[in-house]
Structure formats: C-alpha cells, structure tokens
Chains A and B, each alone.
Chain A
C-alpha cells in the first residue's frame, strides 16, 4: 500500500479525493461507534432467532417466542367481544324508550349505533345518514315506513322488499312505461299532474287529461290527493321530498321505470341488541316524525280541480 497523503494542518490522512482544491480528510470513526454497530448486529441476530423474520418459499421462520400478529388480533377481537358483551346485556333488557331516557345507556347505544351504521348502512344512506337519490334521508322528519323508535327498529329487522317473510313493501310501484301499461303520452301527462300536486307549474291541459289516469293507476297507493300511504310505503307526492329526484324528467323516469327500493333484513346479521342500538342511533339523529301523510288540500287546487281548463 502506497503512502497516503497527510493533511498539513491537521496531520490526518486524506482519502485522496479532491474537489476544487478541497481534500477530504479520512478521519477515523470513534471506536464506541464500532461497538454500537456490533451491538446492533447482535441484537438483529437475537431478533431473528426469537421473532418471525425470514421469508421462505412456503412460509417463514417462526421464531422461538411464537409471536404472531394474527394470534394477537384474534385475542384482541375476543377481548373486545367480552367488553362489548357487558354493555350489550344492558341494551338487551332495556326497552327502546328506556334506552333513550337513560343518558349513559343512550350514549353507549349511540356509540354502538354509529359504529354499526358506518360499517353497514352508510354505503347507501351516506355516512351521516343524509341519504342519496333512491336511498331515503334518515335525518329529516319524513318517513316512508314510520319514524318512531319501534317502527325504525322493525324496518331494520325485516328490511324492505328483502325477501324476509315480514318484509316491508309488498306493494310495488309498477313500471308503467317499460311494461307498456301506459303510453308515453299518458306518462307525460301524469308527470305534469304530479308536478301540479306538489304545487309547481304544470300544463293545465295535460293535468286535465291525467286526472282519470291518476285516479285509476296511482290513487290506490298514493291516495286520491297524492298524500301517500305509510302502510304501503307510498311517498307523499305533495311535499318537497323526492326519493328519485324532484324534476319533471326524474318524475317521468320513475313513472316509466318504476324503481322500488330494497333494503336488507338485518335481523339475520345483527343481534337484537345491535338492532336496538341502531334504531336508537337513527332515531336520535333524525328530526322526529312529521306524522303519517294526511290528505291535505293540494297546493294547486285550481290546476287539479280543472277550473283552469274550464276557463
């Protein structure tokens, strides 16, 4: 090995590298650093022996301690089950009204409900329960199947058109257009009639033509005045809430295609306590129930009565 150059000022050897006249000193590392490094290697080897470390073709080295994240997770989940179990017992014995009255139990039910809602209901109803087109808003005071604690609990249990023996929604909205029950002209007229029902501008002549069609085809479920029927889950057509869209086009599309919402029956998947907690959560976050739709005077009395047509 050739003699290495020494820096004049410090007396330290240089690496022989030079940039623009600046040479790199080859200052030796302190030995404690070396020991620390050896120590780290020793710790790594001990770790390999004790803990799962090296991947192989069909598996991996398990390590002497038998540590496994998967086993840890199962243990944690089992522990969670027991923790939840204590609270759920209270939910089981209390009635829905009692749960809502007891602040502590209500808070617990709301926690459980929120978690279950987020995992199962939010997909359709939105994480805040605000609903979406085709999926009812659970935060307002308008309910297709009733907004009391018991009614909400029942809907959650049996679902809507879910195939459950007691499922809600044995009545279906027909697809008047797709199934050729009504002509396109009749459907267009009917859409004008529905627009008039909710108090919006509509073609008076079309409304007049559709009056008989509405009475024949729609009134059985939506009521003669279009106020809906909770027993059948028929929405109120005179208010501002539209499950499948508010505009003329959306109403025409719904008359043509007759979409019917489906909700699973959750009683097969959730324990009764979970359903209770969920019902309390949904009820607590809703704005109450404005009540079953009643046949109030339609807002477009003149249009609907035909007075405008006669004029």
Chain B
C-alpha cells in the first residue's frame, strides 16, 4: 500500500489544490461562457465508512432489483406481485395494502413522511442520505468501482487519460463503457418491472411484445443512468439537485457533519519522520482527504455546498494518522459547536434534543399517526351520490316528484358484495332503478375491486314534501359493511307547499 501523496495534481512549487478549486480557477481565468468539468479521480480508500458504504450499496441495489420479483398471493385474478404500480388497472399494490387513485393522499403522506425523516436525519447527522443512500451516490459509487476495475486507481487513471491512444487504452476504456451501459440497461430494465407483472414482462420484453412505454422507460432510465453515474457524477449534486441548497435550512451548529478539526490540525505542514509534533498541527498536508473525495473538494476549507457527507476523507485521513502515529479523527463526523468548544478548551456537547429536532420528530410522529389511523380505518365500501342536475326534478301526472341519482359505490374488497340501497330523509319515498317498478328494493351485487354506478330514481307522492330542498341520504348496506352519503331531494316551491 503506497502512501497517498498526490503528485500529479500538484503544480511544481505550488500548493496542492482540489479539483473544485482547480475548476473555479479555470472557469474564472477567462474560460468563456461555459465552464468545462474538471475530471475527478477519487482514490480508493479503506476503512470503517467505506465498509458501511459498500454494505449499503449492496443492500440498496438488492432492494431495487429484487423487490419486483417478490410474489404476494391475492384473491381472484388480481396480480400476485408484491409491489406493483398498475397504471392500466389504476391500482397500487404494496404487499397487503392496495391503494386506489382516489387514495393518492396516502402516497402524499408517504412523501411527507419521507421529507420529514430527511429533515430530522439531516438536522441530527447531516447529509447521510446524500452520502450513503441517494441513488446518484450509490450508482456513481458502483460506476467508479467498474472504472477502477478497468483502469486502475487514481494515478493509473490519470496516466491513462493523459496517454495517447493505444490498444491498451482502447480496451480499458471500451470495456468500462460497455459494462457501464450494461449496468445502465440493468437499471432501466429493473425499473419497468415495478409497473407490470415482472415474469410476464421479462418474456414480453425480449419477444418484442411489451408495451412501447416499457421500451421507452427502459431506454430513458438506461440513458440517464449512464449519463448521470458515468459522466455527470458530482455535477448532478452540485448543479441539478435542489437538496444541497435546501439542507442549509436544516443544519445548525449541532448537526453532525464531516468536519476537519482545524483546532487540532493547524498549523498544517509537511512532517519529517522522527520530527517532533510540538508547535504544529496534526495535518501533514498529504492531500489524502482531497484525492479521496468523489466531489472533488478539500474538506479543510470547511463545510461546503458540494460535500455529500460520505466520510471517505475520514477513512483516508485515519489511515494517514495511523501511519504517522497520531490519534485518529483529525477529520471526523463532528459539529461546528464541538470544534469551537474544543478550541476554547471547553468540553464539547452533543445535544440531540433541540427545538429543531423536536419539531421535525413531532411533525413526523403526527403524520405517521394520521397515516396509520387512515390505513387502519380504511372502509371497504365507499359511496358517492351524484344528483341529476338536468332536470333537477320531474313532476309526474299525479303531482308526485321524482329525483334521479347516480350512486358511485366503490367495493375495495376482493369479493363480490351483495348490497341493498336505502334512501332516507323523505317520508313515503319509493326507490327504483331504470326499467324497474317503483317501490321494489334496489339491490345489486358489487363486483370486487371496482366502482359500480347505480342509477336510482326516488319518487315522493304529492303532499309529503316539507321544503323545496329537503336533506336526504343514501345508505348502502352489505352484510359486513355499510356506507352512507348525504344528498338533497329537490322539488319546486309549489309542490312543497
């Protein structure tokens, strides 16, 4: 294992500089209207956080690829895919939960919960999402792994890029892009399985029988994965993603973030083996943290927009500290407040319970409780009444008044449900359905997992109406469930008198 001393990015006689600083300089030096990307060659590090990142990479990718293949028994002809967004059938299946488009508020609630969790985690531990779980980070990590496999580590990659074209360069570059495209295709290919029965779609896809949307989605996801993870990388986080800009509102001086402990590191400078440590900081200015950074920044410049809090510079620095015989943690997950406290010879405090975290945790608990309550009290029958507006009412030959209603009854269950429709609120009212005789009870068998529309006529004999607009209601009764809805019964003033 060679000591990570970055000679290539170091100008002769000059200070080492980060890729971001380099890019800034190049752009500012009359770079014109458009700023070129300065390539970043992150060096492989070993350590605690890197291991966690590998584990999370495997876990999140496994979840992504395996989920659509999990089967879940459902009654009847319903799909047996555990997680399925069925646009054609207008249903969302998630294991035992089945949501209708009308219940999109559950999805909204889930997104709100996701946002609040992100707020809470960010205010406590900084941008953990960005550093470990964000698909952009995970796939970029995977792509860099492939790149490293073909082209070697940082120095080898920089040499290869600078070298003239040769067979060696051609096959390394070609192989890398081929594997990248394969991974991208695998990503796009897995995505479409969430929207259609996976085994069926797999067969359809290769026999050319899949819907055109599947091919288009697969192509788009393949293209974006290849471009974002292979070529755009840190630019997606820096330029395109809104989250790095929003996070400033969640962070405060007590939020953990990757921190260079300048109180301990400064004054920095090269250190000769065997020389003393008195009167100087622990930072030997080896640049190991800079070359390890996938975002191309120098963490010693302090908290930055670009920093995704991945902790790779911590591993890089710890390795160096071990080597030079100083304690680990010159770069560590720490808070601004703790660094300031240490600098002032106070004991650092790490208060987890702060007004900010309490607000986020409280809001998260509230939304979660509402969601749970909503899911637990979800009705299997749902009734909506649409009263005819044209004509508003009909007068029959004997002066009786008739109103017509369309009942939309959702049967969210998986079994056909026989129901009886009752009308209440107006004495003497008789109900009927199209083509049926007045006064016969209105019954229907609601097909499972569907909304049925039932036309109901309500006829009220003359003289039994109290007001031109009379409150009324419908009730749909099944053996195990019932649903009701309010409506009105209209007539004119003359008949109501």
What is A's interface to B at a CB cutoff of 8 Å?
11-13, 28-34, 100, 106, 110, 126-131, 137, 139-142, 239-241, 280, 283-285, 287-288, 290
Q: Which residue of B lies closest to A141 (CB)?
A: B396
When the two chains form their complex, are residues A287 and B37 in contact, meaning their CB atoms are under 8 A apart? Answer: no
- What is the distance, in angstroms, from A93's C-beta to the closest C-beta of chain B? 19
Q: Which of A11, A33, A106, A280 is within 8 Å of B34, CB to CB?
A: A33
- What is the distance, in angstroms, from A263's C-beta to the closest C-beta of chain B? 19
Question: Residue B361 at the A interface, CB < 8 A?
Answer: no
Q: Which residue of A lies closest to B398 (CB)?
A: A290
Contacts of B35 in A (CB 8 A): 28-31
With the chains together, A131 CA to B32 CA distance in Å? 73
- What is the distance, in angstroms, from A109's C-beta to the closest C-beta of chain B? 10
When the two chains form their complex, are residues A139 and B398 in contact, meaning their CB atoms are under 8 A apart? Answer: no
When the two chains form their complex, are residues B397 and A28 in contact, meaning their CB atoms are under 8 A apart? Answer: no
When the two chains form their complex, are residues A130 and B28 in contact, meaning their CB atoms are under 8 A apart? Answer: no
Q: Which of A29, A31, A137, A283 is within 8 Å of B391, CB to CB?
A: A137
- What is the distance, in angstroms, from A108's C-beta to the closest C-beta of chain B? 13
Question: Residue B102 at the A interface, CB < 8 A?
Answer: no
Contacts of B389 in A (CB 8 A): 128
Q: Which of A12, A31, A110, A142 is within 8 Å of B397, CB to CB?
A: A142
With the chains together, A285 CA to B405 CA distance in Å? 11
Question: Residue B394 at the A interface, CB < 8 A?
Answer: yes
Contacts of B438 in A (CB 8 A): 287-288
The 9 closest A-B pairs by CB, nearest first: A130-B391, A284-B434, A128-B390, A290-B397, A28-B35, A31-B34, A139-B394, A284-B435, A34-B34
When the two chains form their complex, are residues B404 and A28 in contact, meaning their CB atoms are under 8 A apart? Answer: no
Contacts of B32 in A (CB 8 A): 28
Main secondary structure of the interface of A (DSSP, over half): loop
- What is the distance, in angstroms, from B241's C-beta to the closest C-beta of chain A? 13
What is B's interface to A at a CB cutoff of 8 Å?
24, 27-28, 31-37, 232, 235, 239, 388-391, 394-399, 402, 404, 434-435, 437-438, 455, 457, 459
Q: Which of A110, A129, A239 is within 8 Å of B434, CB to CB?
A: A110
Interface CB pairs A-B, < 8 A, 14: A29-B33, A30-B34, A32-B37, A110-B434, A128-B390, A130-B394, A131-B391, A137-B391, A137-B394, A139-B391, A140-B397, A241-B395, A283-B435, A287-B438
- What is the distance, in angstroms, from B92's C-beta to the closest C-beta of chain A? 28
Contacts A28-B31, A110-B434, A287-B459; A126 near B391 (Cβ below 8 A): yes
When the two chains form their complex, are residues A127 and B232 in contact, meaning their CB atoms are under 8 A apart? Answer: no
Contacts of B33 in A (CB 8 A): 28-29, 34
When the two chains form their complex, are residues A13 and B28 in contact, meaning their CB atoms are under 8 A apart? Answer: yes
With the chains together, A32 CA to B394 CA distance in Å? 67
Contacts of A128 in B (CB 8 A): 388-391, 404
Most B-side CB within 10 Å, residue of A29, A32, A283: A32
- What is the distance, in angstroms, from A129's C-beta to the closest C-beta of chain B? 8
When the two chains form their complex, are residues A30 and B239 in contact, meaning their CB atoms are under 8 A apart? Answer: yes
Q: Which residue of B lies closest to A289 (CB)?
A: B397
When the two chains form their complex, are residues A100 and B37 in contact, meaning their CB atoms are under 8 A apart? Answer: no
Q: Which of B390, B397, B434, B455 is within 8 Å of A130, CB to CB?
A: B390
When the two chains form their complex, are residues B34 and A285 in contact, meaning their CB atoms are under 8 A apart? Answer: no
Q: Which residue of B lies closest to A239 (CB)?
A: B397
With the chains together, A33 CA to B395 CA distance in Å? 68
When the two chains form their complex, are residues B391 and A285 in contact, meaning their CB atoms are under 8 A apart? Answer: no
Q: Which of A28, A106, A127 is within 8 Å of B390, CB to CB?
A: A127
With the chains together, A30 CA to B32 CA distance in Å? 10
When the two chains form their complex, are residues A241 and B397 in contact, meaning their CB atoms are under 8 A apart? Answer: yes
Q: Which residue of A lies closest to B28 (CB)?
A: A11
- What is the distance, in angstroms, from B120's C-beta to the closest C-beta of chain A? 32
When the two chains form their complex, are residues A106 and B394 in contact, meaning their CB atoms are under 8 A apart? Answer: no
When the two chains form their complex, are residues A140 and B395 in contact, meaning their CB atoms are under 8 A apart? Answer: yes
- What is the distance, in angstroms, from B177's C-beta to the closest C-beta of chain A? 17
- What is the distance, in angstroms, from B31's C-beta to the closest C-beta of chain A? 6
With the chains together, A240 CA to B435 CA distance in Å? 25
Q: Which of B24, B402, B435 is within 8 Å of A139, CB to CB?
A: B402
When the two chains form their complex, are residues A126 and B390 in contact, meaning their CB atoms are under 8 A apart? Answer: yes
Contacts of A34 in B (CB 8 A): 33-34
